[in-house]
């Protein structure tokens, strides 16, 4: 009982945080609240400030003789263990990544990957303990991450601002998309989100051609925006998707069938229930049929079934579902 209450409560907190965040980003977009943000330059200097400040990189990393942390690899040239500073080292790591993945990794791709998916490549001799720096408590924005990449690339490497910022490679763009989506969803992990989606949603929803057909197709759902998606999960009945209204059919014996009207012929209708069962009812047996606007066929207790983290993960996963290019 208490556990449920705590869960529901922390859930409300997250929802509140998401809404505050939306409000905040709108303020940012409209140019309000400038002074509070402290704009970051996408440059080695901007990145240096983040590295030794908000990014907290210095709590695990050092740069050459600067700093004393040893939990993560030194980012400078340091002793026999680190013959190359990070910018030059990234070129070597990129070669390793290209071989392993079979795709062309550039040095910038490697650097961005190490921030977007720290577990993808774990430096030999270290544990998979690199922080997810776009999630709380560090919560770097994409701009701040680009700045940090510029700082590290400038350490003995080729500083190519186009590859970092203006015209990133396809690989880097994918990592950036992951970071933005996750940051937007309060730091969720889209990879975990995919698993939670499989477990809770796929029976009713189609995504990229796979899944059930009880609810609307969610392919490209990110276009509807974070606020809409989070509301759809937390309060499905608040805005029922057109064509997916909840019907209540009562037969002459008074028995109710509740679900979506998925077929309507001259003599009979089909009602598809939330569990996917299809019930065919002859029209002459129906005493009353009405739409219940206060209920969705989508369960409204998902908030209780999911943990806060599940919810953030699934939001970030859905925010990555971009409309497919027309073929």
Applying CB under 6 A, the residues found at the interface with ligand HEC are: 51, 55-57, 59-61, 71-73, 89, 93, 111, 114, 118, 121-123, 126-131, 133, 148, 152, 200-201, 203-205, 214-216, 218, 221, 229, 232-233, 236, 240-241, 244, 274, 296-299, 302, 314
Q: How far is the CB of 222 from ligand HEC (least distance, A)?
A: 10
- Cβ–Cβ contacts within 10 Å for residue 323, how many? 10
Least distance in angstroms from the C-beta of 107 to ligand HEC: 11
Minimum Å gap between C-beta 74 and ligand HEC is: 8
Burial per residue of 297-321, b for 16 or more beta-carbon CB atoms within 10 angstroms, e otherwise:
bbeeebbeebebbbbbbbbbbbbbb
Is 78 in contact with 62 (CB distance < 8 Å)?
yes
Is the Cβ of residue 28 or residue 213 nearer to ligand HEC in the bound state? 213
Smallest separation, CB 225 to ligand HEC (Å): 10
DSSP-assigned letter for residue 69: -
- For ligand HEC, the closer CB: 15 or 233: 233
Q: How many CB atoms lie within 10 A of CB 224?
A: 15
Residues 151, 17: Cα–Cα separation, whole Å: 31
Q: Which is nearer to ligand HEC, 10 or 200 (CB)?
A: 200
- DSSP H helices, 1-78, are 2-29, 34-37, 44-51
Q: Residue 201 or 308: which CB sits closer to ligand HEC? A: 201
Which CB atom, from 156 or from 216, has the smaller least distance to ligand HEC?
Answer: 216
């Amino acid at each position: 009982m208490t556990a449920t209450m705590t869960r529901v409560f922390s859930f409300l907190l997250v929802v509140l945080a998401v809404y505050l965040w939306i409000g905040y980003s709108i303020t940012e977009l409209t140019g309000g609240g400038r002074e509070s943000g402290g704009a970051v330059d996408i440059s080695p200097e901007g990145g240096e400030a983040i590295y030794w400040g908000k990014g907290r990189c210095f709590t695990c990393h050092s740069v050459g003789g600067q700093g004393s942390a040893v939990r993560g690899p030194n980012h400078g040239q340091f002793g026999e263990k680190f013959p190359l500073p990070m910018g030059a080292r990234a070129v070597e790591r990129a070669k390793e990544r290209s071989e392993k993945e079979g795709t062309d990794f550039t040095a910038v791709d490697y650097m961005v990957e190490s921030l977007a998916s720290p577990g993808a490549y774990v430096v030999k001799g270290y544990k998979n303990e690199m922080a997810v720096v776009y999630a709380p408590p560090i919560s770097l924005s994409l701009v701040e991450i680009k700045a940090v990449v510029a700082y590290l690339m400038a350490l003995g490497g080729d500083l190519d601002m186009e590859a970092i910022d203006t015209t990133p490679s396809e690989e880097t763009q994918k990592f950036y998309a992951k970071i933005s989506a996750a940051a937007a969803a309060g730091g969720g992990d889209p990879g975990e989100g995919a698993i939670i989606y499989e477990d809770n949603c796929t029976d009713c929803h189609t995504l990229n051609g796979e899944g059930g057909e009880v609810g609307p197709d969610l392919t490209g759902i990110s276009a509807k925006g974070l606020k809409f998606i989070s509301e759809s999960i937390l309060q499905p009945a608040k805005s029922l998707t057109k064509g997916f209204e909840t019907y209540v059919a009562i037969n002459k014996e008074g028995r109710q069938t509740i679900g979506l009207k998925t077929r309507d012929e001259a003599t009979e209708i089909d009602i598809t229930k939330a569990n996917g069962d299809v019930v065919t009812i002859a029209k002459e047996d129906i005493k009353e049929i009405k739409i219940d606007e206060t209920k969705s066929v989508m369960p409204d207790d998902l908030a209780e079934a999911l943990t806060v983290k599940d919810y953030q993960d699934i939001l970030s996963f859905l925010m990555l579902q971009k409309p497919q290019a027309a073929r």
